Amino acid sequence: MNALWTSDEAVAATAGTTPCTWAATGVSIDTRTLEPGDLFVALKAARDGHDFVAQALEKGAAAALVSHIPEGVDNSAPLLLVKDVQAALEALSEASRARTRARVVAVTGSVGKTSTKEMLRTVLGAQGTVHAAEKSYNNHWGVPLTLARMPRDVDFAVIEIGMNHPGEIAPLSRMARPDVAMITTVAPAHLAAFENIEGIAREKASIFEGLGPEGIAVYHGDLDVTPILREIAGRHAARRITFGEGPANNHRVETVSVRDDCTVVQGRAWRSPVLYKVMVPGRHFAVNAMGVLAVVTALGLDRALAVTALGQWQAGAGRGLRERIPLDVVDTRMSVDLIDDAYNSNPASLAAALEVLAGAQPRDDIGRVAHGRRIAYLGDMRELGSQEVALHVAIASNPALEQIDIVHCIGPLMQHLWRALPEAKRGHWTDTSEKMAERVARDLDAGDVVLAKGSLSMGVGRVVDAIRKLRQATPDVDG
């Protein structure tokens, strides 16, 4: 395999020193996932990465990026010694960006960043080689790590950029120097760090600050804060493209058919009619897919190939993945349909998920209840600031709840929703996901469709795991 970083290149990029010659085929910050040949970056986060350098070298790391020689490591070991590890990682990322021929797309938004990044990976992958992070690496270390891992001969790169506080996005965008920058949407998320949604819009729009002279801005055109996005894009972009459902958008969704296992969309991409499908239910996926087609237009790529590739994309675990969980080894009808959206939650993404659940079709006359139900397990939405209680209570008035049979609530904030629900829809309330997971086997029945959603720190994935553990293996049947 060709070297991603030689010692000479890494020294030149970081202004560091090394006692020997080496070549790295990858970059890692975690010894648990480190592959032989990786450059191990000893970041200081929850733990000091220097404590794991010896282990990384034992596992076959080509070298370690450090700010001092760790205890128990010989000074003749393959170490890249720098003043500051985070700054050196950023320097590697900038050198990687400078040497690549890739066309770079940066994506941000309050909802849908990661799923849109994955749509772009699939769509651009039909027209060239693509580099994108395998996880939601979108913060101050995730973006430079993604860039530092970028092969020099890749055709496209997709960089996801997130934020928790003001001033985070612009430096990361300037590091990525995107050719196209996209904002999926702006919604009430991270309100604890911002005075209002207008502040969130300005922070999201700062992604356009990294665009080059020919850079193109792609953003949602139907928002109350769209004028803010338009104004900031106008300062930094050579060209602006909007997407959404309104008639004024350059790329617009006109009709959406949400089905149990997919969403079919008709619309217009610039002046041309377009018909496409994504293999996951949800209007929000349909709109973000139109944004992906807007990026395809910005890059001057083949729209027909992009539409075909969209039909092959599926949502990942924790982000709207739908799967059928068999409950009986013989009777295949005995199953539960799971919508795994447990990775994160805010008011906008929860509203979209509830709409998907409301449109799902349970199956009757197959379980002990005999009536298939739509059931939601909802965990707290975090980082909503002074409005957090009101935003949780407001869920009770969401029109989608009329079609949902039972809502189970997890966490102190979701207790406010639980109290506001009609008694007929009020399921259980627990303070933790672990306690709710213990009830799953008693709560669910064959024919049910169940949604699990909550902020990452709530650990609603434990409820998802409990549902998956209800699975019974399908027997092998001969002929």
* Amino acid identity for residue 355 in this structure: E
Closest alpha carbon to 393 in 452, 347, 456, 343: 347
Q: Where are the alpha helices (DSSP H) in 126-258?
A: 142-148, 169-176, 197-205, 226-236
SS3 139: coil
Q: Which two tokens stand for residue 262?
A: 């997919």
Which residues fall within 8 angstroms of residue 99, CB to CB, at 6 or more apart? 152
Spatial distance between the Cα atoms of 264 and 254, rounded to a whole number of angstroms: 11
Spatial distance between the Cα atoms of 213 and 237, rounded to a whole number of angstroms: 7
Spatial distance between the Cα atoms of 353 and 400, rounded to a whole number of angstroms: 9
> 314 near 282, Cβ under 8 Å?
no
181 phi/psi in degrees, rounded to 5:
-120, 130
> Does the CA dihedral 65-69-70-75 come out positive or negative?
positive
Q: Which residues are annotated as a binding site?
A: 109-115
> 295 near 288, Cβ under 8 Å?
no
Spatial distance between the Cα atoms of 379 and 430, rounded to a whole number of angstroms: 10
Q: Is 383 left (phi over 0), alpha (psi -120 to 50) or beta?
A: left
Spatial distance between the Cα atoms of 354 and 381, rounded to a whole number of angstroms: 14
Q: Which residues are annotated as a binding site for ATP?
A: 109-115
> 218 near 178, Cβ under 8 Å?
no
Task: Tokens 């969401």: give the residue.
Answer: 398
> 281 near 360, Cβ under 8 Å?
yes
Q: Which two tokens stand for residue 293?
A: 């087609």
Helices and strands: H and E segment counts in the chain: 16, 21
> 404 near 377, Cβ under 8 Å?
no
Spatial distance between the Cα atoms of 371 and 169, rounded to a whole number of angstroms: 48
Spatial distance between the Cα atoms of 13 and 20, rounded to a whole number of angstroms: 16
Give, in degrees to the nearest 5, the angle at Cα 210 between 205 and 212: 120
Spatial distance between the Cα atoms of 271 and 7, rounded to a whole number of angstroms: 51
